[in-house]
C-alpha cells in the first residue's frame, strides 16, 4: 500500500502577463522566459494551452528546451475532445498522442487532464463516448474532471478505478449543479486536486478573469491541508495539487501558502 506520497504543487498555466505586474516574474519577462522562471517556483505545471490548440511535438520539444529539466507536466486534453467534440475525434486523439510523445519519452508527464464541461452530463451517449475516449488515449496517464454532479456516482468511480483513471478532486464554489468536492481515490498511482477558487458570483460570468478571481484564506487552505490531503496522500504514491485562481498571481501565493502548511520546514514545493 502506498504511504506518504510525494506531492507536487503548482498552478494551472504559467503564461500570464499580469504575473509580471503582480511581482511573480521579473519586469520585462517575455513569454518564452516565463516557464524558466516558473520552474524555480514550483515542481509541476498544468499546460492549459493544449486545450486551445492541438498539442504538437515540435512546440513541446521547444518548450522543454527552455525550462528546468526537473519540471513535471500535466496537460489538458484539447477542446475538440471535451467541449466541442468533433466527428473526427479519434483522429484528434491520435494527433494528441503524437503531440505528447516528447513529454512521455522524457518521463515528464504526470497526467493528461480530461476536463469536461458542465453541459456534459451522464447520459448513455456520453458514457459510451468517454469509455471510447479513454480507450483511445490509453497509453497516456489520464485524469478526469467532471463539472456536472450527475457523474458523482459509485458506478462511475468503480469504472474509473477499473481503467486506472484518476478522478480529479475539485475545490469550487458551492453551486447546486457543480460536481461536489470529493476525495475519492480511483487510481492509487496519482491523486489530482484542482483549486478553482470560490468566486460564486463570477463563476458563470463567462469571463475567466472573474471566474478565477479568488484569494484563498489560510483557514480555507487548512480545510484541505489538515485532513483531506493527508488522507489522499496516504492512498496514493504521487499527488498533484494545482491552483487555478490565476488572476493577479493569487494562484502562486496560495500554492506557496499551502506548501508551507503541508510541510512547514520545506522550502521546496515538492513536499
Partner 1 sequence: MERRIIHLNIANFCVAVEQVRDPRLRNRPVIIACPGPRAVVHDMSDEAYSEGVRKNMLLTAALRRCRSALVLPPRPELYRKALGSCLKQALQYTPLVERSSGNGHLYLDVTGTHRLFGPPPDIGWRLRNTLRRDLGLDPIWSIGTSKLIAKVASRLVKPRGEYIVGGGEEQSFLNPLPLQLLPGISPADLLRLQHINIHLVHQVTALSVQDLHVVCGRRAHRIYHLVRGIDPRPVHPVISRKQDISHAYTFSPDTNQEAVVRAALTTLTQRAGYDLRQRRLGCRRAAVMLLYSDGVSVTRQAAVSLPVCDDTSLQQLVSAALYRAWNRRIRLRQLTVTCSLLCHPAQQLSLFTAGDMRVQKNRQLSKALDTIRSRCGDGTIFRGAQYPHINTSIPLP
* Footprint of partner 1 (CB under 8 A): 13, 15-18, 30-33, 49, 52-54, 58, 62, 79, 207-209
Nearer to partner 1, 238 or 244 (CB): 244
Q: What's the min distance (Å) between Cβ of 13 and partner 1?
A: 8
* Residue 192 Rama label (left phi>0; alpha psi -120 to 50; beta): beta
Nearer to partner 1, 56 or 263 (CB): 56
Q: What's the min distance (Å) between Cβ of 45 and partner 1?
A: 14
Q: What's the min distance (Å) between Cβ of 18 and partner 1?
A: 5
Name, in order, each residue with C-beta under 8 angstroms of 222's C-beta and a sequence gap of 6 or more: 261
Main-chain phi, psi angles of 165, to 5 degrees = -100, 130
Nearer to partner 1, 47 or 258 (CB): 47
Nearer to partner 1, 12 or 133 (CB): 12
C-alpha cell of residue 253 = 501565493
Nearer to partner 1, 158 or 209 (CB): 209
Nearest residue to 77 (alpha-carbon basis) of 106, 55, 94: 55
C-alpha cell of residue 252 = 502562486
Q: What's the min distance (Å) between Cβ of 55 and partner 1?
A: 11
CA distance 188 to 76: 21
- Whether residue 185 contacts residue 232, with contact meaning beta carbons closer than 8 Å, is answered with yes
Q: What's the min distance (Å) between Cβ of 247 and partner 1?
A: 8
C-alpha cell of residue 95 = 494527433
Amino acid at each position: 500500500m502506498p504511504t506518504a506520497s510525494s506531492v507536487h504543487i503548482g498552478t494551472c498555466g504559467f503564461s500570464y502577463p499580469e504575473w509580471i505586474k503582480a511581482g511573480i516574474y521579473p519586469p520585462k519577462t517575455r513569454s518564452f522566459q516565463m516557464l524558466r522562471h516558473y520552474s524555480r517556483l514550483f515542481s509541476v505545471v498544468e499546460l492549459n494551452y493544449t486545450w486551445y490548440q492541438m498539442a504538437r511535438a515540435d512546440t513541446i520539444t521547444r518548450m522543454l528546451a527552455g525550462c528546468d529539466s526537473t519540471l513535471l507536466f500535466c496537460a489538458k486534453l484539447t477542446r475538440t475532445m471535451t467541449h466541442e467534440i468533433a466527428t473526427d475525434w479519434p483522429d484528434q486523439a491520435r494527433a494528441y498522442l503524437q503531440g505528447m510523445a516528447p513529454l512521455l519519452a522524457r518521463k515528464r508527464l504526470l497526467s493528461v487532464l480530461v476536463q469536461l464541461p458542465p453541459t456534459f452530463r451522464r447520459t448513455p451517449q456520453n458514457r459510451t463516448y468517454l469509455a471510447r475516449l479513454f480507450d483511445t488515449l490509453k497509453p497516456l496517464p489520464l485524469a478526469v474532471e467532471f463539472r456536472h454532479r450527475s457523474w458523482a456516482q459509485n458506478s462511475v468511480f468503480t469504472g474509473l478505478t477499473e481503467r486506472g483513471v484518476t478522478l480529479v478532486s475539485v475545490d469550487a464554489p458551492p453551486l447546486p449543479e457543480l460536481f461536489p468536492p470529493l476525495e475519492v481515490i480511483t487510481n492509487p498511482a496519482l491523486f489530482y486536486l484542482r483549486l478553482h477558487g470560490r468566486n460564486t458570483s463570477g463563476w458563470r460570468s463567462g469571463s475567466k478573469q472573474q471566474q478565477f478571481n479568488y484569494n484563498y484564506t489560510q483557514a480555507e487552505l487548512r480545510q484541505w491541508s489538515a485532513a483531506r490531503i493527508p488522507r489522499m496522500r496516504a492512498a496514493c504514491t504521487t499527488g498533484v495539487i494545482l491552483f487555478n485562481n490565476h488572476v493577479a498571481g493569487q494562484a502562486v501565493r496560495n500554492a506557496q501558502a499551502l506548501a508551507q502548511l503541508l510541510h512547514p520546514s520545506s522550502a521546496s514545493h515538492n513536499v
